[in-house]
A and B are shown apart, each in its own frame.
Chain A
Amino acid sequence: MKRKLWIGISILIMMLLIIGCVRQSVIDELQYIQAVAYDWHDKKHVRATVVVPVYNPDRTVTNSIYQVVIQMGEELQEVLNGRTHWPLVMGKLRVGLFGKKMATKNGILNILDSWQRDPFIGIPTLAVVDGNAEDVAQQIKDREVGRKVLELIKHNVDDGRLPDTNIHHFLNIYYRRNGTPWLPLLVMQEGTPVLKGIALFDGAKMKGKIDSFKDMTLFTIMHWDRAEGTGYPFTTKQGIEGFIRETELNRKVKVFNTGKSPVISLYFDLHANVVEIRGIKGKAEKVIPQLEILIKKRLETDANQLVKKLQHMNVDPLGFGEAVRSRNRKFNAVKWKEQYPHVKIKVTCKLHLDEYGIVE
């Protein structure tokens, strides 16, 4: 019995010793990369700007910035570790920014690929910067760069101005047949990043952009069915101007004639409130039903125009190809790519104006 006890105790001690063999890393003595911005350098190289937040004893945050020109994505840490006093780790990477030129010419796949292979990197949010991405990293002074950009995108996603986006969503679309993903497009204005629109990708290379806020809203409405709170301005021919805000949205895609030449109809059912209106004459009860039709027509023309624009660029971020694929067993991806610019896509909608303010 005593012998057994000793054996048990020695096994326990051995296990503790073995488990203690791992290299230590103290959380306060690591430098967490929170954001990385990539810019065009030349055909093979990119210029990476790394932002590491430093938390000062007086509770303020300063961003220390390191810049390096690299060829391989993984070189980044190796080169930069030669400059930092504590080891750099990628475990808290929140934001990846790409300059427009780099996204157009190099494509961003090389970087994303090494990120998705690294089990220590979570799910960062990505964005394209119209201009140089390093500006975002260098000009934000008041907060942590990563957090500021992340929160900017995140609250717009939550409020329904932008469909959900991060590295997972990007790669999810990228890996589809003929994947044409998209990313939010930012621009630096007077030292703060501003959400400007949407960067459209063909594969992993940027091909075009949607750069008005109005089109971005329409894109969101057509892309996603959880767009509560998005507003949309309108003007009618009669000179009525106003602003509606969504409350409920249902979206349906139908595909006719899936085989040879598909015809796609996108229908959305929109409930909204009128929050601002100018130039109406007469009583609201009479005007509202007319207004519903007028705004609906406005929305339909705008939406059809946007779809035409996307078709003209031959990118499909709204997932019409996916809609056809999921209904057609003999889906041919190559043929679809050729077909897509000429496919008939018709957007129709129904608008319900439920409320028009608490004041008559």
Chain B
Amino acid sequence: MKLQGQLTDAQLQPPDDKISGIHVFFLIHSVQTGVGGLGFQRIIAQKAGHDSWMAVLIAGVFVQIAIFFMYLALKKRREDLIALHQRILGSWLGKIFSLVFMIYFVSLGAAVTRSYSELVQIWMFPDLSTWSISLAMLLLVFYIVSGGFRVVVGISVLSVILPFYLLLLLIIPIEHAEFSNLLPIGEATFGQLLNASKEMMFSYLGFCTFLMYYPLIKGGPRTQKWAQSGALFTMILYFVVSIITLAYFSEKQLLTKIWATFSLFKVVQFPFLERFEYVGLASWAFVILDNVCLLLWASVRILRRLWPQSSGRKFLVATLVLIFLENIILSGRDDINKYIQFVNQWGVVINFMYLPLLYLVGFFREKWRRVP
């Protein structure tokens, strides 16, 4: 279906620029793992105690369902979010809702950059100002995003592979872990677990950028297995990390650790490397980088699809400036936390309420149209 004044995919992106199915695995997995992965253990333990590992699984299942719905909504016509909105909600309403997504992507990217610069300030350079860290990062983001989608994909593949060795280091804390901390299983009520899984979502979010790059994937609906397994891999990763954390720290001790994953790395000591967190933090820059890149690429893409004549580069610069300002304005744990919680709530609403609803609306409209 070609809409008036709208460029087709072929015009926007030459066919040989499409990415292959396995890249979807990396795109989904890498955009999910971000700053959330460093501190989610405490946040979910606040709600569900030593049973909070179940919340990781529950949230992971919700993500699987959300991805399932995304494919269901898009695969029939191989369209993206903008075309979907236009078809179901009409031109004006569709545009407005697409803009909501754009704002959501940008604000999620801002949350990620701010959290990372906070991390650098606390663990590495306490007297480094926020602006210098975020400027350095945003310049890099600009360079990558203006390189186009394929470059973004390349970065996200790298961001999965390069920091992978960090996982091996989690073996060292296992030595000191006491798994009786996890007992008795099932002390938290179901309500508590759901509450915790809601908080867990921040660490899973970002995967709905998929709605924007779906038409750029070779193979279309056949790639669903890659998308699902990407999310599954994230879930397994988070599950392992949360089990180790819960066994390593006792319950109340964990509540004092804001970045529990880094506190785990504290045990790792080599004769030639006194403090391993420095290396971990530097590697984590890769994990963060692709999140921001993909989110910003998606928001630029929304703009270009809504107004094909507009300049994507100018818009990118403007959003980067906005993120930069946001980074400077938010100062301290409290502000950042509030902001993240705000973004998280929006993310939950958009991913798990709005998108299935949108699909259902589209589904029934089609059905009713056919019946008479």
Out of A15, A21, A119, A169, name the residue touching B139 (CB < 8 Å): A15
Best-buried of A18, A164, A174, A328 by chain B (most CB within 10 Å): A18
Least Cβ–Cβ distance between A177 and chain B, in angstroms: 8
Structural contact, B139 and A175, CB atoms closer than 8 A: no
Q: Does A61 contact B (CB under 8 A)?
A: no
The residues in A between 134 and 174 inclusive whose CB is less than 8 angstroms from any CB of B are: 164, 168-169, 171-174
Residues of A within 8 Å of B274, CB to CB, are: 91-92, 122
Out of A14, A164, A174, A326, name the residue touching B183 (CB < 8 Å): A326
Q: Does A358 contact B (CB under 8 A)?
A: no
Q: Does A283 contact B (CB under 8 A)?
A: no
Residues of A within 8 Å of B140, CB to CB, are: 15
Q: Does A322 contact B (CB under 8 A)?
A: yes
| A182 to B266 CA separation, bound complex (whole angstroms) | 22
Residues of B within 8 Å of A168, CB to CB, are: 176, 267
Residues of A within 8 Å of B266, CB to CB, are: 122-123
Residues of A within 8 Å of B267, CB to CB, are: 123, 168
Least Cβ–Cβ distance between B358 and chain A, in angstroms: 39
Best-buried of A119, A172, A322, A323 by chain B (most CB within 10 Å): A119
The residues in B between 262 and 289 inclusive whose CB is less than 8 angstroms from any CB of A are: 262, 266-267, 269, 274-275, 277
Q: Does B256 contact A (CB under 8 A)?
A: yes
Residues of B within 8 Å of A337, CB to CB, are: none
Residues of B within 8 Å of A19, CB to CB, are: 132, 136
Give the A-B pair count, Cβ closer than 8 A: 72
Least Cβ–Cβ distance between B274 and chain A, in angstroms: 7
Structural contact, A18 and B135, CB atoms closer than 8 A: yes
Residues of A within 8 Å of B262, CB to CB, are: 119
| A45 to B280 CA separation, bound complex (whole angstroms) | 38
Q: Does A252 contact B (CB under 8 A)?
A: no
Interface size on A, residues (CB 8 A): 34
| A326 to B181 CA separation, bound complex (whole angstroms) | 7
The residues in B between 148 and 179 inclusive whose CB is less than 8 angstroms from any CB of A are: 176, 178
Least Cβ–Cβ distance between A10 and chain B, in angstroms: 10
Q: Does B9 contact A (CB under 8 A)?
A: no
Q: Choose the segment among B32-40, B72-80, B220-228, B244-252 that binds chain A (4+ C-beta atoms closer than 8 Å).
A: B244-252
Least Cβ–Cβ distance between B282 and chain A, in angstroms: 12
Residues of B within 8 Å of A326, CB to CB, are: 180-181, 183-184
Structural contact, B250 and A175, CB atoms closer than 8 A: yes
| A177 to B250 CA separation, bound complex (whole angstroms) | 9
Structural contact, B256 and A116, CB atoms closer than 8 A: yes
List the interface of chain B (C-beta within 8 A of A). Answer: 122-123, 125, 127-128, 132, 135-136, 139-140, 142-143, 176, 178, 180-181, 183-184, 186-187, 249-253, 256, 262, 266-267, 269, 274-275, 277
Known pairs A22-B125, A172-B253, A327-B183. 8 more at Cβ < 8 A? A11-B139, A21-B128, A91-B274, A119-B122, A174-B253, A176-B252, A328-B184, A329-B184
